[in-house]
Chains A and B, each alone.
Chain A
Amino acid sequence: MLRVKPDQKQRIELTVNGRKYSGYATPRLLLTDFLRHELGLYGTHVGCEHGVCGACTIVIDGAATRSCLRYAVQCDGLELRTVEGLAVEDGALNDLQKAFNENGALQCGFCTAGILMSVTRFLEENPKPTRKEVTEMLSGHICRCTGYEQIIRAILQASGQ
């Protein structure tokens, strides 16, 4: 097993939104801080840094994951998806993002990236969810602005319902 000192930087390589990145991280560097401050991917937000609010959720190797509870070095060689990868090729909003816009599913926008990433993964597994399933999935996120109803409507619309 590899042993490193607390302040010893490790080289890591990972794929984010289909693009290869490499960088250096000390063992304790949080994945959120690596994404934001090392790679400049500021779309992923930090809401609580203790895994409750869900704002930092990204998709790691196919699983919606709190990026504030991961260290960057744990993600060496993994495939990540973040909010920056959602828009379609010409930069236009994808169907889920459009549904959020049309339904008033965001206000301040700070929790939104995490919700979009959870929902993206959720709809890949469950393309026609019931309202109850959507509500349960959404309970892993805190949105303080909307009261959730508009988010639920947006998700149902994006799933063609």
Chain B
Amino acid sequence: MNAFDDPSLTRPQYVGARVTRREDPRLLTGDGNYVADIKRHGMVHIAFRRSDHAHARITYLDAEAARTLPGVIAVYTGEDIALLANPYQATSRMKNYQATFIPPVAVDKVRYVGEAVVAIVAESRYAAEDALSAIDVGYEPLAVLVDPETSAQSDAPKLHEDLASNVLAEREFARGEVDDGFARAAATAGTRFHFTRTTPVTIEARASVAEYDRGARALTLHCTTQIPGILRDKLSEIFDLPGPRIRVIAPDVGGGFGGKTSLYSEEIVACAVSRDLGRPVKWVSDRTEDLMTTGHAFDEIVDAEIAVAGDGEILALRADVIGDVGAYSIYPWTATIEPVQVVSFLPGPYRIENYAARVRSVATNKTLTGAYRGVGRPISAFVMDRLLDMAARKIGMDPVDIRRRNLLKDDEFPYKAASGLVWDKSAFQACLADAEKEIGYEELKKQQAAAREEGRWLGIGVSSYAELTGVGSRIAVAPGMPINTGTETCNVAIDSTGAVTASFGLASQGQGMETTLAQVVAEELGVQVDDVDVLLGDTSAVSHGSGTYASRGAVFGGGAGTLAARAVREKIVRVAGHLLEAAEEDIETGNGNVWVKGTDKSMTIRDLARALYSDMGRVPKEMRDEIDNLEATKVYDPFFGTTTAATHMCLVEIDPETYGTRVLKYIVAEDCGRIINPLIADGQSHGGVAQGIGVALMEEVIHDEAGQVLTASLADYTVPSAMEVPSMDVIHVDADLPDTIGGFRGLGEGGTIGAPACIANAISDALSPLGIEITEIPATPERIYRLVEAARA
């Protein structure tokens, strides 16, 4: 074996290696480039006057005084923006769905507190904000709808006069013999669950810089978005501009978590104003605006009931879900995405043949809800896992045992769930077994019994769930949406300098995709990982792409990157076969070199590129005509997508003085397929669980009866700090790889899906001597105090 054929030297395994992130040096030294850092010559600034009414008719609007203030350049009302931007709405082919138009700036009436009413454009942000108070707006208050059940009534005042009702979507389905299941049950358990409203809180609030070039008649939007491709496509319609003349760039983006996956009014206004004035326009959200206008999360009431046999077998499940989706149906996901996912995923990883559900998405006078890490599934897991524990208590079964009894087994895949989802094989049972072992369940139960003797409130929680990740074209991320979320594109190109660039339609908001996708492409191509430049978050990179959301980056990016790199490698091998005078099957690539196996005949890929592109004569014209260049564009469609299974277990203790809950131990056992980079994979799980702890214990957007947001600062809307998040263990279960290209499964959302359920179960377990079941989260000290007081009364 020669030096080239030593795989340890020439084919280092990048996929699976703990490669440190290439993004870090710039972010650690202050050299990152976030949207708020962008400064342009002649740039002007927008501030929005926002509605302080939740539902009101605008009776008059006088902005003349504001126009004359120093530094003010222009003032735009809703009517002004409507002349500059075509109306849009989030359509869907789903039956019983009503789309709403979303005016970028309110016209005639306002529908939630925080909705934009006037945009002021000024030389500085300070001047723009000063002018806001000089605008005189008259409102005639209308009946405010904050309760979705009231809003769903047929005689409720309508938010949108052109619609039949406030019920924006409704879906009902049943499979199997549900009534029979309940009739046969040894025990049933059920109640009303409430999963309150939260908000993403990216530490970087949303921001946009729009630049319309009058000469080129082209628009560039730098934006804190997860979906540059979706924005580009919609802005093309809104502004009647062809795609190539709109470029959406997401540079360094400070977190997304789903909150940056929607089209936002401020983005449209920035573009409209830049085109109107011919100047660069900047808008940066402040934190209060962010808490009131970035798509809120969750907010469902679920009436659910489960029927079990004496041995714990689940016989039937039924649920009625009301999702409070806020004032409009958000683009592109629609008002269906969150509530419909609750019923689709409610049966979870369990074998449930008899299931009936109804779901309604109801408009209220609140901020729009959109996607947030987990989308619907944190509620599914919370309700299902609570029901299982409640049922297990009734039949005297251990919570882990009832899960083991009902989790799908390895020989049952693919399994079509009662809601229609199809699970491919994933380690459902092994995750539970590994979590149980790793946390030392039996020992923990003994500890708990001893603690209980001392009067301490110690509880053990378990949650098992499955999620579909890397969802391909067979199943849309939200049903019936007008966009394609089922494919993703990658272009791999080696140019005439020999440099490798991999371009994607994906965008990164901290997931480290510049690193992981370079690992995948380098491995497939046979070059060093540092030699691959990765281009993300720029719509000029590939013809179609949607972005990063729904735990799809690794599956889609890894798949498309593998396919494109493989195609370029085939071209390299063809050219090398000619240049090295060998059969193509004898050519190997690695570490940036090509060589003939078993010989010393070799060259660098850089030299090969030069030979093809620049040294005319070295590669015959016929071959050059055939392969064109060292470049390939490939589209990957995982069709069904793949299943990621996990079990979370935790130990909590509730302080009997403060009623505060502390998470003492936390274990995640998950099957996320082939891991590209364990450093990054672990980080996704840790971060996801931390957000799930916030959802379980702390985070809640609170509206009063008038629809005012009472949690409009980070002092009022509290998120976990280092004090609330325990040190946790993440176990990647050793299991068969899925059929996705590369064997990757998505894992971005899992932590947030399992944690609320796991912690709610642990708190209920801790308080089980008092007969308390957690049915509403966050389980704040105040809620726990009230439950304990009621139980003792």
Contact = CB atoms under 8 A, between A and B. Distances in A.
Contacts of B32: 43, 109
Interface stretch (A71-79, A122-130, A143-151): A143-151
A97 to B, nearest CB: 4
Interface residues of B, number: 54
A101 B20 contact: yes
- Interface residues of chain B: helix, strand, loop or mixed (majority): loop
Contacts of A145: 255, 510, 683, 687
B27 A112 contact: yes
B723 A139 contact: yes
Interface stretch (B34-42, B103-111, B376-384, B700-708): B34-42
Nearest to B680: A104
A65 interface: no
B714 A48 contact: yes
Contact of A104 (B21, B30, B255, B509): B21
A108 B28 contact: no
A113 B723 contact: no
B617 interface: no
Interface string A82-116: 11101100010100010011101011111111001
B728 interface: yes
Nearest to A83: B30
Interface string B697-736: 0000000000000000111000101110101100000000
A144 B32 CA distance: 18
Contact of B204 (A37, A47, A52, A149): A47
B713 A108 contact: no
Given A42-B37, A108-B203, 12 more contacts: A7-B70, A40-B39, A52-B714, A86-B28, A97-B29, A108-B510, A109-B27, A109-B510, A136-B722, A139-B723, A142-B714, A147-B686
Contact of B719 (A83, A107, A116, A144): A144
B680 A110 contact: no
A98 to B, nearest CB: 9
B126 interface: yes
Interface string A129-158: 000000110111111111111111000000
Nearest to A48: B287
B34 A107 contact: no
B689 A41 contact: no
Nearest to A82: B30
Interface string B171-207: 0000000000000000000000000000001111100
A52 B728 CA distance: 25
A11 interface: no
A36 interface: yes
Contact of B683 (A55, A91, A104): A104
Interface string A34-54: 001100111111111110110
B252 interface: yes
Contacts of A138: 721-722
Max chain A C-beta neighbours (<10 A), residue from B20, B683, B688 = B683
A146 B686 contact: yes
A42 B34 CA distance: 9
Contacts of A41: 30
Contact of A147 (B203, B255, B511, B728): B728
A87 B679 CA distance: 23
Max chain B C-beta neighbours (<10 A), residue from A36, A82, A112, A152 = A112
Given A45-B254, A142-B203, A50 B30 contact: no
B28 A106 contact: yes
Contacts of B511: 107
A102 B203 contact: no
B23 interface: yes
A47 B203 CA distance: 5
Given A49-B286, A86-B29, A144-B201, A106 B719 contact: no
Interface in B556-580: none
A47 B687 contact: no
Nearest to B253: A108
A160 B683 CA distance: 22
A55 to B, nearest CB: 6
Nearest to B32: A109
A101 B28 CA distance: 8
A116 to B, nearest CB: 7
A110 B204 contact: yes
Contacts of B725: 147-149
Contacts of B25: 93, 97, 101
Interface string B472-496: 0000000000000000000000000
Top 7 nearest A-B pairs by Cβ distance?
A43-B30, A108-B510, A110-B254, A109-B27, A147-B690, A147-B686, A107-B510
A160 B686 CA distance: 24
A87 B203 contact: no
Contacts of B126: 26, 28-29
Nearest to B26: A109
A141 B683 contact: no
Contacts of A136: 722-723
A111 B689 CA distance: 19
A106 B255 CA distance: 11
B738 to A, nearest CB: 25
A2 B728 CA distance: 55
Contacts of B751: 147
A142 B228 CA distance: 27
A91 B30 CA distance: 12
A61 B387 CA distance: 57
B206 to A, nearest CB: 12
